[in-house]
Amino acid sequence: MSETLQDRKYNTDLHRDRLKSLFAVVSCVSIAGVSMGLTLPLMTISMARDGASDGMIGLIGSVLGFATVCYSRFVPAGIKFCGMRNYVLICMLIEALMFLCLKLFPSPFAWIIIRFIMGMMVAGIFIASETWINYLARDDTRGRVLALFNISLGVGFASGPLILIIAGSSGWAPFLSGSLITFVALIPLLFIQNFRMDMGKPSTFSPLTFILIAPALCAAVVLTAGTETIMGTFFIGYGKELGHSENDTEIMLTIFFIGGLFFQYPVGWLADHVNPRKLLFFLGILCLICIFLIYGFAPYKFTLKILLFCWGGLLTSLYNTALTAVGHDYSGSDLVAANASFGFLWGVGSLAPLITGQVMELLGNDALIIVTALLTFAFILLMAGSLKHQRS
């Protein structure tokens, strides 16, 4: 009897620690979303107000991607050296300080450096948090747990434009808001143990070679990151060209990110019950349909909001489903390496504004639709090839 009670107490404590860790991870990743959801449109508006070209705006928007590409491969070593909690805590503290530096040093050159540092910290938060949450999740509920994780990320993205609506895009208010939110979100980390994953065995692949192992899953990451970064960087200008007010376009961008909140859990449930790779293929097709409909109905405010809501939800679900597939197939050092690869590829996708800005100078605002449609179509082709290879 005493042994049974002891086991029960151990299981209860383990469950409580797991829930505390889950809550801490969820709060952390939401900050990565706030960082991108707030700074991208804020910097775009500020630079456009100062007369910057679309090419320069695209360059600034892509700095986060450059930082992620350069830094992702160093994240596993940082996690191993510091432990999971301490590593994430350091990243969040630096991120909070960088929000203030954006206001203190408003020149384009300084912003490139600050955004690069912010990109490194966001990459660290993303990779560590995704690895941590995948480790904590059980196989039978992995899709739904990761859905809740990505809902928190969606809250961060959606709250970025919302902060601009409330605080405005000038003065200290938006920068102080981003910094304060980051400080508040790191508080739960102080109440959990410094978790160290069992990474005794080296990974059987590197973050770069994982791209060759699972190209279709990796393409889902590039598509999600590229589209979200393009939308955050250029959609406000796109909407204003169509005759919508700045306030309306900020609301539309918020709706786009809010879509991810409502789609995540049902799609996560599907990922627990069907082949995640087949689900990715169908999600890609639905995203492409949304893009075509948005192009046709862009001048109509109400219809555009509905389509943006659906597109944002489907797009974010792509990433969640790819994470679910990775969590089922890998563990330990391999899981860290796979998530580091996802972080690297998120950075690659985040370079899309650089290309979009150049295309926009040639073709106008339709470049937003053209580039996102091409990215989605390329993903669908890769996913179809992956499914065909599985059947053969």
The residue with tokens 């899953």 is 217
Report the CATH architecture of 12-195+204-391: Up-down Bundle (1.20)
- Residue spans of the domains in the chain: they are 12-195+204-391
Tokens of 131: 């690895």
Radius of gyration of the chain measured on its C-alpha atoms: 20
> Is pTM, for the whole model, over 0.85?
no
HEC-encoded secondary structure of 279-331: HHHHHHHHHHHHHHHHHHHCCCHHHHHHHHHHHHHHHHHHHHHHHHHHHHHCC
**Residue 354: CB atoms within 10 Å:** 21
> Burial, 9: exposed, middle or buried (Cβ in 10 Å; 0-12, 13-18, 19+)?
exposed
Q: Are 334 and 203 in contact (CB under 8 A)?
A: yes
Q: What is the C-alpha to C-alpha distance for residues 100 and 127, in angstroms, rounded to an integer? A: 24
CA contacts within 13 A on the Cβ side of 118: 31
* Residue closest to 295 by CA, chosen among 380, 374, 348, 385: 374
Tokens of 235: 């959609």
Q: Tens-of-pLDDT digits for all 392 residues of the chain?
A: 444 544 444 344 445 666 777 777 777 677 667 766 777 777 777 777 777 776 777 777 778 778 888 888 888 888 878 888 888 889 989 988 998 998 898 787 888 899 899 889 888 887 888 777 777 777 777 777 788 777 777 677 667 777 777 877 777 888 888 888 888 777 877 877 766 655 556 677 777 788 888 888 899 999 998 998 888 878 888 888 888 887 888 889 888 988 877 888 888 888 888 888 899 999 999 999 999 999 999 888 899 999 999 999 999 889 889 888 887 777 777 777 887 888 788 778 877 877 887 788 787 778 889 989 999 999 999 999 888 776 65
Q: What is the C-alpha to C-alpha distance for residues 238 and 223, in angstroms, rounded to an integer? A: 20
Q: What is the DSSP string of 102-137?
A: HHH--SHHHHHHHHHHHHHHHHHHHHHHHHHHHHHS
Q: What is the DSSP letter of 207?
A: T
Q: What is the C-alpha to C-alpha distance for residues 42 and 34, in angstroms, rounded to an integer? A: 12
- CB contact burial 160-187 (16+ within 10 A = b; e otherwise): bbbbbeebebeeeebbebbbebbeebbe
> Burial, 388: exposed, middle or buried (Cβ in 10 Å; 0-12, 13-18, 19+)?
exposed
* Residue closest to 34 by CA, chosen among 183, 187, 122, 160: 160
Tokens of 389: 């290879």
